[in-house]
Amino acid sequence: MKITGLALVPPPGAADLPRVTPELLASVLARYSRSNEGLGAILAKVDPVNPDASIDRILKFVDYGHASIGGLTGGLAVALDDVSMWLAYKLFELATMADGQESSSRYITLAPENLPTAEELGVPADLAPRWRDVMARAFAAYQAEYARLDTLATAEPQRVRLPAGATPAVAGRLRKNYALDRARYFIPFATRTNVGLVQTARMWAATVKHLASLPHPEARAAADLIRGELLKQSPRLMRHSQAEASHVEQATQELARSLALGRERLSHAPLADDVWVHVDRAAPPWLAETQPVAEALRHRANRYGQQGLATRRMRVTFAWNNMALAELRDLNRHRTGHRYTPLIQAGFYLPPEIDRSPHAALLAEQLELTRELLARGSPAYVYSLLLGAQTPFEHSTHADKFIYEAELRTGMGAHFRYAEHLSAALRAFCAQVPEARDWVVEGTAEPE
């Protein structure tokens, strides 16, 4: 893997503004909050030639428990090349306040040469040849199904649900997406991808501390490399990013739970859909919510419009029993609230357009490899999974954020499978909050 920090520079239009490094910005704003001098007086103490000395002179309490100061550094950008899809998923799970993007499976190389080595991932040496063989066969299945589905979509264009008036270029792209999005369930979770994240030094320190505390060699290697890059921009605050006992203990316990649940539920049979939604509308007796739900929703022109207090105060937890990793990669990036999955294989999803029988031997061998890794208690079991592996996934947030996600993930261009998942969750939500039904726009995901 390769980790690169990106240093932001001001655009030409900001040439006359004061210039500060990330930590100098934090120190100036921290001082600003404890002084009535005004910003100009504080900046007058800054030596632009020696910003580190200025930080030490202005700020004496960075290392004395004031974690919020780390949030004043502004966004620090880091690009992570050639990390596994598992590590990309983990980064978005941990970096709950980051802005970021991951390479789409539509655009990266999908072949055995795009896998990290077994040693990098911690796959036991005696299982490495078997792991490489299963992964190679999974890529071959992906390529074969993609070619077949692309031919099918060409022969039967009505399958692609093209919009009226689509140009030949648009029609070609949507046909490709039809095939790519259905074949992708054979892609190994270990496949290399790229991730770009922007967040403050405070949140980077927390993210790196989590990574350094995980039992996966890839995560710990990434922690060291990210820390090395960010020490160039925020050396004081990134000192607080080493592995820590409570993080190690919780990671150990979570892995043990996943291993136990994985052994109990391991299967490559398709797992029927089940969705669970819990709505909590409770409010303090001295601060009741009086706004009707319709009034909270009806004034929006689209999903980006402001919602009212009735939905912003309402808590919602929603979960699916069988979220395929292919969809988890997308839904896990909705950052509000808390997301949780034990990351197991309780079933294996393939879309109706793919016949399972030609792939029965591959799925059986992949299952047995995963079973062996689980039996050994190896955290590397995650790298034996394919994107069709179905795992429970829970997300807790507020109703306004849930409604936004449901409208987005069923709307124009949404992937067909997570549109099905969100439609089911939305039906369950509206059964409990029927007054929202007329004002929440469920899409049809057309075209893909």
Would you state the pLDDT for residue 62? 44
Report residue 182 as tokens: 């259905």
User: Within this chain, do residues 306 and 407 fall inside the same structural domain, yes or no?
Assistant: yes
Would you state the pLDDT for residue 80? 93
Would you state the pLDDT for residue 448? 61
Question: 397 - beta bridge partners?
Answer: 316
Q: Is the pLDDT confidence value at 150 over 70?
A: yes
User: Within this chain, do residues 330 and 405 fall inside the same structural domain, yes or no?
Assistant: yes
280 CB contacts (<8 Å, ≥6 apart)? 314, 315, 316, 317
Q: Before 447, cis peptide (omega within 30)? A: yes
Report residue 330 as tokens: 């997308």
Tell me if 142 is assigned to some domain: no
User: Within this chain, do residues 61 and 197 fall inside the same structural domain, yes or no?
Assistant: yes
Q: Which of 243, 262, 282 is the last residue of a domain?
A: 243
Q: Is the pLDDT confidence value at 13 over 90?
A: no
User: Within this chain, do residues 395 and 319 fall inside the same structural domain, yes or no?
Assistant: yes
Containing domain of residue 54, as a range? Answer: 2-79+193-243
Measured in whole angstroms, the distance separating CA 229 from the mean position of its chain's CA atoms is 22
Tell me if 304 is assigned to some domain: yes
What is the model's pTM? 0.91
pLDDT band at 429; cut points 50, 70, 90: very high
Lowest mean pLDDT among 20-29, 140-149, 284-293: 20-29
Among residues 442, 396, 439, 397, the alpha carbon closest in space to that of 422 is found at 442
pLDDT band at 325; cut points 50, 70, 90: very high
Tell me if 49 is assigned to some domain: yes
User: Within this chain, do residues 263 and 238 fall inside the same structural domain, yes or no?
Assistant: no
Q: Average pLDDT, stretch 354-366?
A: 97
Would you state the pLDDT for residue 22? 81
How many domains, in total, are found in the chain? 2
CATH code at position 397: 3.30.1360
What are the angstrom distances between the C-alpha of 372 and each of 35, 127, 235, 259, 262? 61, 9, 43, 11, 11
Tell me if 274 is assigned to some domain: yes
Would you state the pLDDT for residue 160? 84
345 CB contacts (<8 Å, ≥6 apart)? 262, 265, 266, 267, 268, 367, 370, 385, 389, 390, 391
Tell me if 186 is assigned to some domain: no
Q: Is the pLDDT confidence value at 59 over 60?
A: no
Tell me if 224 is assigned to some domain: yes
Q: Which of 243, 262, 279 is the last residue of a domain?
A: 243
Produce one character per residue of 308-341: b if its CB has 16 or more CB atoms within 10 Å, e if not: bebbebbebbbbbbbbbbbbbbbbbbbbbbebeb
User: Within this chain, do residues 318 and 211 fall inside the same structural domain, yes or no?
Assistant: no
pLDDT band at 57; cut points 50, 70, 90: low
Average pLDDT, the chain: 90
User: Within this chain, do residues 270 and 236 fall inside the same structural domain, yes or no?
Assistant: no
User: Within this chain, do residues 197 and 340 fall inside the same structural domain, yes or no?
Assistant: no
Lowest mean pLDDT among 66-75, 257-266, 360-369: 66-75
Q: Is the pLDDT confidence value at 66 over 60?
A: no
pLDDT band at 63; cut points 50, 70, 90: very low
DSSP 8-state symbol, 292? -
User: Within this chain, do residues 239 and 273 fall inside the same structural domain, yes or no?
Assistant: no
Identify the three-state secondary structure at position 6: strand
List the beta strands (DSSP E) in 298-403.
315-324, 338-340, 347-348, 389-398
User: Within this chain, do residues 411 and 342 fall inside the same structural domain, yes or no?
Assistant: yes
State how beta strands 76-84 and 338-340 pair: unpaired
Would you state the pLDDT for residue 271? 96
The residue behind tokens 């710990």 is: 220
pLDDT band at 64; cut points 50, 70, 90: very low
301 CB contacts (<8 Å, ≥6 apart)? none
Q: Is the pLDDT confidence value at 56 over 50?
A: yes
Would you state the pLDDT for residue 60? 54
User: Within this chain, do residues 325 and 430 fall inside the same structural domain, yes or no?
Assistant: yes
Would you state the pLDDT for residue 61? 44
Lowest mean pLDDT among 66-70, 332-336, 375-379: 66-70
Report residue 414 as tokens: 């949404």
Which one is predicted more confidently, 119 or 19? 119
Handedness of CA 60, 66, 67, 70 (dihedral sign): negative
State how beta strands 76-84 and 192-199 pair: antiparallel
Which one is predicted more confidently, 132 or 107? 132
Would you state the pLDDT for residue 157? 85
Tell me if 441 is assigned to some domain: no
Tell me if 95 is assigned to some domain: no
By the 10 Å C-beta count (0-12 exposed, 13-18 middle, 19+ buried), 438 is classed as exposed
User: Within this chain, do residues 268 and 399 fall inside the same structural domain, yes or no?
Assistant: yes
By the 10 Å C-beta count (0-12 exposed, 13-18 middle, 19+ buried), 94 is classed as middle
Q: Whole-angstrom distance between the N-terminal and C-terminal Cα of the chain?
A: 32
Q: Average pLDDT, stretch 209-233?
A: 95
Identify the three-state secondary structure at position 239: helix
